[in-house]
Amino acid sequence: MMRPVLRAIAVLLLLSRSLLGQAPSTLSRSEARKIIVELNREWGKARVAFDKPTFEKMLAPDFYVQLADQKLTRQEFIDEISAPSRGGKLTRFDVEVLTVEPSGDAWVAVIEEKLEFARADGKGNVYSLWVTRDRWKKFGDRWMALSSEAIGNEAWRDGAKPPFPDW
């Protein structure tokens, strides 16, 4: 008698888990792309403005950044990007969403980031191109970034401009 009840409970638990974890499948890839593009527009504006409250709002509590040789916690990353450096000021942070894929109950997007820094010494700009793999998830009515992994980057200094038409 107890076995069928346990089986029924197990089935209900599995069903509830699968239904709760279906955020990506309830959105089309096109809908997810639109949301992630908008989130990245907001993020880019916040980065140039050093808008710490927006960083706090958009990053999940267990967010992290994975660089080639270093893993930054949420707080380390927020501290890093919340104030201009003494060497210059971030003047451009443009983002293009390249790909969007469902992953469990989240979405993974490959992102191209174009950053431009005005050097404090007045000797021109520093340009930086990053490609990242970012994970996003909806919590209730709010989307948050779960992680960001740098999968490539390059910088141009000393008067050199990147070899791209929009720079």
CA distance 135 to 105: 10
CA distance 17 to 2: 23
pLDDT at 106: 97
pLDDT at 60: 98
Instruction: Assign a CATH topology to domain 27-156.
Output: Nuclear Transport Factor 2; Chain: A, (3.10.450)
- Torsions phi, psi of 106, nearest 5? -135, 180
Among candidate residues 94, 95, 68, 35, the one with its CA nearest the CA of residue 150: 68
Instruction: Dig out the tokens for 126 from the structure.
Output: 């520093």
For 114-130, give one letter per residue: b (16+ CB within 10 A) or e.
bbbbbeeeeeebbbbbb
pLDDT at 21: 43
Tell me the pLDDT of the chain averaged across its residues. 87
- Domain ranges, ordered by start, for the chain: 27-156
Distances (CA, A) of 5 to 9, 12, 38, 65: 6, 10, 46, 44
Q: At which residue do the structure tokens 């942070």 appear?
A: 93
CA distance 11 to 57: 36
In this prediction, the residues of the chain whose per-residue pLDDT falls under 50 are 1-2, 4-23
pLDDT at 101: 97
Instruction: Dig out the tokens for 149 from the structure.
Output: 């992994």
pTM: 0.81
- Beta-carbon contacts of 144 under 8 Å, excluding residues fewer than 6 positions away, are 58, 59, 60, 63, 136, 137, 138
